Amino acid sequence: MCRELMLQSDLLRHNDVGAAGLRQRFAAAGVRVVNLLSSPGSGKTALLEAICRQLGAQAEPPRMAVIVGDLATDNDAQRLRAAGLPAVAITTGQACHLESTMVEAGLHRLEHQGIALEQLDLLLIENVGNLVCPAAYDLGESLRLVLVSTTEGEDKPLKYAPIFHRADLVVISKIDLAEAVGFDRAAARAAITRVAPRAAVLETSARSGAGLDALVSALALPVPA
């Protein structure tokens, strides 16, 4: 109730305080946290399923869990659980992004399922499908991954620049469809470099498995002390 009366800047400040607390918790637990952002339908869930398969094949797979944000439905969480990933869904209603308090609620629900943060190596947060709203909301993540698919067109980074500005890693997904949609790789990479000059860029296909090795390596980097 009080919350509805807060202004946007207050909301962001409130979120940042919560995110700082989360970042401390994540660091203390030694867990790497990835905030996964994209348009609806860029393949966030498919990529998480593929990562799970790829990591599951390792001799000592990292212990993982997922918090999934969606306006409605827990379809994605169900898909991820079917893939063997512990996953909880946060339904945001009208809200077009996850906030740090929602991540706290997700952690709480994981705990209720017997999954404590300290037992995890990797926590994946699948944000609400949206290339605008989630940009300003820090979730305490150690890595911000923005996904953009070959089917969306090469100019999306320029048109939705704010969300790319803070990306650590940009993944071009559905690379298996590049030829079918006439994807211009050079133009896409130039657009990404312009708005996210420090971000690493990878190309992946959840379907063919292309690029998943490199992605898994990028996710497995140790948590900064």
Residues that bind a second copy (CB under 8 A): 4-5, 7-8, 39-41, 70-73, 75, 94, 96, 128-133, 149, 151-153, 155-156, 158-162, 174, 177, 180-181
Nearest partner of 176 among 76, 50, 53, 78, judged by Cα: 50
What is the spatial distance between Cα 134 and Cα 190, in angstroms, rounded to a whole number? 23
CB of 67 to a second copy, least distance (A): 16
DSSP 222: P
- Nearer Cβ to a second copy (26/160): 160
160 CB-near residues (< 8 Å, 6+ apart): 131, 132
- Nearer Cβ to a second copy (161/201): 161
CB of 101 to a second copy, least distance (A): 18
- Nearer Cβ to a second copy (107/128): 128
CA dihedral 144, 150, 215, 221 (to 10 degrees): -20
- Nearer Cβ to a second copy (35/38): 38
List 68's β-bridge partners, or say none. 89, 126
CB of 27 to a second copy, least distance (A): 30
Nearest partner of 95 among 48, 130, 126, 139, judged by Cα: 130
CB of 7 to a second copy, least distance (A): 7
What is the spatial distance between Cα 139 and Cα 185, in angstroms, rounded to a whole number? 31
CB of 176 to a second copy, least distance (A): 9
- Is residue 97 within 8 Å of 134, Cβ to Cβ? yes
- Nearer Cβ to a second copy (25/207): 207
Q: Which H or E element spans position 67?
A: strand 64-70
CB of 18 to a second copy, least distance (A): 21
SS (H, E, C) 187-200: HHHHHHHHHCCCCE
- Nearer Cβ to a second copy (70/121): 70
